[in-house]
Amino acid sequence: MGTTEGAKEKTSVLLLKTKSIPNDGYKEQFESTKEGTQFEPVFVPVLEHQLLEEGLKIIRDALRNKEISRQAAAKYGGLIFTSQRAVEAFAKLVEEGQDVDSWPHLQDIPIYTVGPATSRALRSIPQTPPLNIFGSETGNGEALAHYMIDHYGKWYQDMEIKPPLLFLVGEQRRDIIPKTLMNPTLPRDRRIQVDELAVYGTGVMESFEKDFSKLLKETENKPMRWVVVFSPTGCEAMLRALGMLDPETGKVKAEHQRDGKTHIATIGPTTRDFLQTTFDFEPDVCAEKPSPEGVEAGIESFLKERI
């Protein structure tokens, strides 16, 4: 669609993520009225999540056998969630067993979560009495781990060796929580065993490269466009669609000339470093903070430096 004569054309921002429901902070941030560059956010879903039946069976059996409880014979004394996908997997199991009295027998254990969104997802699981949810104000995995050392220690203060925690995760995850809680330098009565259980996997959607290529074609005549990358998953397909990858080496073509109008921003250093080390590609912007405000601030700073 052409712009009204005299109106400034908006800069397309291709966000390589699924749009959050009901509200997405990136949509709100880039659509907000501001001086200077006007942005038009477009979402391009990259990841698809699949529940892993092998992991679900393990926790299903643990719930049925009351292996997660405060009882001395229990295998685990608490649960950890840091992603909404893991909560969705857990909620599916709780729903399965609602016809069983007192399923899933978790009213006497702490359940730890990071951030308000994951906490809200847990609280929405119908359970009587309600689940004991802690840690939502910590904000990140490292802060949650330090919080748990103290909180879990008090919860089981009558036990010198604390019962292990079960951490429901995806196939790809950071290990900061297990490393912190199982740090051998911690005193024996503060150290906590953490067992990770993968209950969902993440991969690139089959349609991503085709969808992304279509949007690149639709925006090819714009004077400027941005691509915002949120994780290493999908980076290869993105670079291939942009015509940058050498099929022989798997790296960005040495002779590749950027078109001067397509710019790449990453949400943080993990994705930036992955692009650098895996593909020899240097993105234009790496957000200082992994947030809508941080990404836009990085883009605005880049544009100011060019003026």
Cα–Cα distances (Å) from 60 to 66, 91, 171, 173, in that order, read 10, 11, 18, 22
Q: Is 153 among the domain residues?
A: yes
Q: Is 233 among the domain residues?
A: yes
Q: pLDDT tens-digit profile of 234-254?
A: 899 999 999 999 999 999 987
Q: Is 5 among the domain residues?
A: no
> Which residue positions in the chain have pLDDT lower than 50?
1-6
Are 72 and 90 found together in one domain? yes
Residue 259: alpha-carbon gap to chain centroid: 31
Q: Is 2 among the domain residues?
A: no
Are 131 and 264 found together in one domain? no
Which residue, of 203, 222, 239, is where some domain finishes? 203
Are 54 and 97 found together in one domain? yes
- 21: domain CATH number? 3.40.50.10090
Which residue, of 203, 223, 248, is where some domain finishes? 203
Are 261 and 211 found together in one domain? yes
How much is the pLDDT for 100? 65
Q: Is 4 among the domain residues?
A: no
Are 22 and 68 found together in one domain? no
Are 180 and 212 found together in one domain? no
Q: pLDDT tens-digit profile of 257-284?
A: 788 899 999 999 999 999 999 999 999 9
Q: Is 1 among the domain residues?
A: no
Q: Give the integer Cα–Cα distance in Å for 165 and 159.
A: 14
Are 36 and 105 found together in one domain? no
Are 115 and 102 found together in one domain? yes
Q: Please state the domain count of the chain.
A: 2
How much is the pLDDT for 1? 44
Are 244 and 112 found together in one domain? no
How much is the pLDDT for 14? 98
How much is the pLDDT for 7? 54
Domain of 188, in residue numbers: 50-203
Are 54 and 158 found together in one domain? yes
Least Cα distance to 44 among 280, 296, 199, 242 occurs for 242
Maximum separation of any 2 CA atoms in the chain, in Å: 74
How much is the pLDDT for 307? 59
Are 227 and 253 found together in one domain? yes
Q: Is 196 among the domain residues?
A: yes
Residue tagged 């880049």 (tokens): 302
* Beta strands 47-51 and 194-204, pairing class: antiparallel
Which residue, of 183, 203, 223, is where some domain finishes? 203
How much is the pLDDT for 2? 46
Q: Is 86 among the domain residues?
A: yes
Percent of the chain's residues with pLDDT above 90:
64
Quick one: angle between helices 53-64 and 84-96, nearest 10? 50
Are 216 and 96 found together in one domain? no
